[in-house]
């Protein structure tokens, strides 16, 4: 880590004028690129960290541009700087969703509580090396081994390597040689990591679950029989319990022909759920994905187990039309008020959609209410914002479902 050298940056964007940047070195887990490319084709991907929003955006920007060579998205530091300076962004594109600490339950140890996503729990899985987010949704969690490099060894190695490259000594002192050797050994150890490849079979199996069916039922085929102990939240919420430390989130390397017994929740579980739901309602309404970067819903259409039975591309078009055009200064209302109303109306409609297209009139009325109190002006705003086209897209998607 170090201060960014502006003199060497010939492509510095005007939006970054006066902005202090820090350069970071990021160590990538082996097989990360192959892993992300595959899961991005299989699922709607959400990067979720208990870290800060700035950290989240910086890491995601590096993954998108330097690892996966994807188009620059809103999470780029350049785009964030433009937003902070109230400059017009050059893109509203987003390759992935990204959530940070502000979308966690602080009172629960910064738990990434899955109901905050606004998705059906029967269509969501979480991959994490930390089980603190699994206790209240144990059947949805997949634990992956932590990627745990020895930072001190690697830092000494980088310092020694830089010194050798800059000074080119004829003879190296023993301490310098030792730092280089230890660093090379640590890198060799890390390169043997196969955790991302090893978890792909279970993710592929989950992706094959037909839309509308419960993906956790497939995960039940990848659990040991002891996993039913995770249905007791007294165990999973206890950081010292063997269930939490050794069983929670663990999947088997191969699929069992029979699933573990169906989930039977302990009567004591309700207290934990009520506490989590109360915090979510108090601090995180509406659902997190809807609240984060509301005008940036453009994603690649892909097979997903997390959406209603219609084409993702059509849903994306709808959300882009409604959020990018209605959530604006022209609406005459504060963004914070109009955004939840619009997106909740869409979510309610999509939740109850059927093949007949029933409910479109209710959706239209809800959208009119969202953009303004006066019916005539609301219709004018909707027409100007292209809502008619958005609803037609949705109608077509429904008719094809």
**Cα distance between residue 367 and residue 136, in whole Å:** 34
Sign of the four-CA dihedral 234, 237, 241, 244: positive
313 pLDDT more than 90: no
Contact 338, 370 (CB under 8 A): yes
Q: Cα Rg for the chain, rounded, in angstroms?
A: 24
* Most confident listed range (4-18, 227-241, 280-294): 227-241
Model pLDDT, residue 310: 38
**Cα distance between residue 13 and residue 23, in whole Å:** 16
Contact 248, 338 (CB under 8 A): no
Average pLDDT in the chain: 75
**Cα distance between residue 84 and residue 260, in whole Å:** 51
211 pLDDT more than 70: yes
Average pLDDT over residues 355-375: 52
In sequence order, what are the residues at sequence separation of 6 or more whose Cβ sits closer than 8 angstroms to the Cβ of residue 304? 42, 43, 44, 211, 312
More confident residue, 243 or 342: 243
Structure confidence at residue 353 as a pLDDT band (50, 70, 90):
very low
DSSP secondary structure string for all residues of 36-89: HHHHHHHS--EEE-SS-HHHHHHHHHHIIIIIS-PPP-TTSHHHHHHHHTTPPP
Average pLDDT over residues 131-144: 97
144 pLDDT more than 50: yes
Structure confidence at residue 84 as a pLDDT band (50, 70, 90):
low
35 pLDDT more than 60: yes
Query: Is 24-147+193-298 a domain of CATH 3.40.50.1000?
Result: yes
Model pLDDT, residue 282: 82
Model pLDDT, residue 291: 40
Structure confidence at residue 102 as a pLDDT band (50, 70, 90):
confident
Average pLDDT over residues 60-74: 84
**Cα distance between residue 61 and residue 223, in whole Å:** 35
Query: Cα 290 vs. chain centroid, distance in angstroms?
Result: 12
More confident residue, 400 or 207: 207
Average pLDDT over residues 299-327: 42
**Cα distance between residue 201 and residue 372, in whole Å:** 49
Contact 93, 298 (CB under 8 A): yes
pTM, two decimal places: 0.67
**Cα distance between residue 339 and residue 170, in whole Å:** 65
Dig out the tokens for 335 from the structure. Answer: 């963004």
354 pLDDT more than 50: no
Q: Among 18-27, 56-65, 246-255, where is mean pLDDT lowest? A: 18-27
Q: Among 28-42, 152-166, 214-228, 295-309, where is mean pLDDT lowest? A: 295-309
Q: H/E/C letters for each residue in 351-391?
A: HCCCCCCCCHHHHHHHHHHHHCCCHHHHHHHHHHHCHHHHH
Model pLDDT, residue 194: 96
Of 40, 2, 47, nearest to 304 (Cα)? 40
Relative orientation angle of helices 151-167 and 174-190, to the nearest 10 degrees: 130
Of 159, 160, 185, nearest to 174 (Cα)? 160
Model pLDDT, residue 64: 87
Structure confidence at residue 80 as a pLDDT band (50, 70, 90):
low
Structure confidence at residue 322 as a pLDDT band (50, 70, 90):
low
269 pLDDT more than 80: yes
Of 47, 30, 26, 1, nearest to 147 (Cα)? 30
* Most confident listed range (127-136, 332-341, 358-367): 127-136
Structure confidence at residue 373 as a pLDDT band (50, 70, 90):
very low
Q: DSSP code of 105?
A: B
């Amino acid at each position: 880590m170090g201060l960014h050298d502006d003199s060497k940056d010939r492509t510095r964007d005007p939006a970054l004028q006066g902005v202090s940047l820090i350069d970071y070195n990021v160590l990538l887990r082996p097989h990360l690129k192959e892993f992300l490319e595959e899961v991005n084709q299989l699922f709607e991907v959400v990067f979720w960290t208990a870290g800060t929003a700035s950290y989240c955006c910086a890491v995601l920007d590096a993954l998108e541009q330097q690892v996966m060579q994807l188009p620059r998205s809103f999470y780029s530091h350049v785009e964030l700087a433009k937003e902070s300076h109230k400059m017009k962004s050059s893109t509203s594109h987003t390759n992935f969703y990204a959530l940070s600490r502000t979308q966690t339950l602080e009172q629960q140890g910064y738990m990434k509580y899955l109901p905050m996503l606004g998705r059906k729990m029967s269509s969501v899985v979480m991959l994490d090396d930390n089980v603190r987010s699994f206790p209240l949704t144990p059947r949805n969690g997949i634990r992956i081994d932590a990627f745990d490099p020895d930072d001190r060894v690697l830092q000494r190695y980088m310092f020694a390597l830089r010194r050798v490259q800059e000074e080119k000594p004829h003879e190296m002192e023993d301490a310098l040689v030792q730092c280089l050797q230890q660093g090379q050994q640590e890198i060799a150890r890390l390169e043997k990591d196969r955790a991302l490849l090893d978890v792909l079979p279970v993710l592929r199996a989950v992706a094959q679950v037909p839309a509308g069916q419960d993906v956790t039922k497939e995960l039940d085929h990848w659990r040991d029989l002891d996993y039913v102990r995770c249905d007791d939240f007294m165990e999973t919420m206890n950081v010292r319990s063997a269930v939490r430390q050794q069983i929670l989130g663990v999947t088997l390397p191969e699929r069992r022909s029979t699933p573990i017994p169906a989930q039977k929740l302990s009567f004591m579980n309700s207290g934990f759920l009520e506490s989590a739901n109360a915090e979510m309602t108090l601090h995180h309404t509406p659902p997190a994905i809807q609240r984060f970067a509301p005008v940036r819903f453009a994603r690649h259409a892909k097979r997903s187990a997390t959406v209603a039975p219609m084409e993702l591309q059509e849903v994306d078009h709808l959300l882009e039309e409604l959020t990018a055009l209605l959530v604006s200064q022209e609406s005459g209302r504060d963004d914070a008020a109009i955004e939840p109303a619009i997106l909740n109306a869409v979510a309610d409609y999509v939740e109850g959609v059927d093949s007949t297209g029933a409910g479109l009139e209710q959706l239209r009325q809800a959208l009119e209410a969202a953009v303004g109190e006066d019916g005539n002006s609301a219709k004018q705003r909707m027409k100007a914002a292209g809502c008619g086209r958005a609803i037609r897209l949705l109608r077509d998607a429904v008719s094809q479902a």
